[in-house]
Amino acid sequence: MSSKQKVRRPRRRAERAGSGSGANRRWWKVGGIGVVVLVVVFVAFALSRSPQASTGTGAQASTGTGAQASTGTAPQASTGPSAAADVVLQDFDGNPVTISSLEGRPLVINFWASWCPACFSEMPSLEKVYQTHRDSVQFLGINLGKDIEAALSVVEQTGVTYPLA
């Protein structure tokens, strides 16, 4: 080897990847997605726990009557679906709509707003599902926006016919 020839050394991984910034960004994205997934799992777990399991139900919890209070046994966790809280809403004509009035069939609730692009794009798909399953599943779209005119415009543009409040 002559004195003018340079010895080539293998490049390090960071040099090959262009200072590693792309790899770092990828790990940040993966880590961020992982954190979001963990939060969703935690929230789903927390929401799936029945409040009846820790407080008893109805008169038993408030008056101390019933088998749970008299025997001193711990309340049992619910094994079936529990009713949603009865919320009173108004439809677009001003008529009251209660969640309890929709008992008897599964209920799909779509929370939406005129300022939400994702809501706007999903509403036609929900309408198709509603048209296919309207005899076996109930639908209720709940507008979270304050501008009723904008909401009515979205309903007209998307062709939604399922009940809205």
Name all domains of the chain by residue range, CATH numbers in brackets. Answer: 12-74 (no CATH), 85-165 (3.40.30.10)
Could you read off the pLDDT of 82-112 as tens digits, one per residue? Answer: 666 788 999 999 999 998 888 889 999 999 9
Burial (CB count within 10 angstroms: exposed 0-12, middle 13-18, buried 19+), residue 53: middle
pTM exceeds 0.85 for this model: no
Contacts of 21-24 with CB under 8 Å at 24 or more apart are none
Please, how many CA atoms are within 13 Å of residue 165, restricted to the half-sphere of its CB? Answer: 16
Distance CA 4, CA 56 (A): 87
Write b or e for each residue in 144-156: b if 16 or more Cβ atoms lie within 10 A of its Cβ, otherwise e.
Answer: eeeeeeebeebbe
Distance CA 118, CA 94 (A): 26
Q: Which residues contact 99 (CB under 8 A, 6 or more apart)?
A: 84, 85, 86, 87, 107
Look at residue 142 and tell me whether its pLDDT is greater than 80: yes
According to the model, what pLDDT value does residue 137 have? 94
The pLDDT-based confidence of 16 (bands split at 50, 70, 90) is: low
The pLDDT-based confidence of 63 (bands split at 50, 70, 90) is: very low
Give the phi and the psi of residue 137 in degrees, each rounded to 5. -135, 135
Look at residue 143 and tell me whether its pLDDT is greater than 70: yes
Could you read off the pLDDT of 109-120 as tens digits, one per residue? Answer: 999 999 999 999
In this structure, of 3-12, 55-64, 82-91, the range with the lowest mean pLDDT score is 55-64
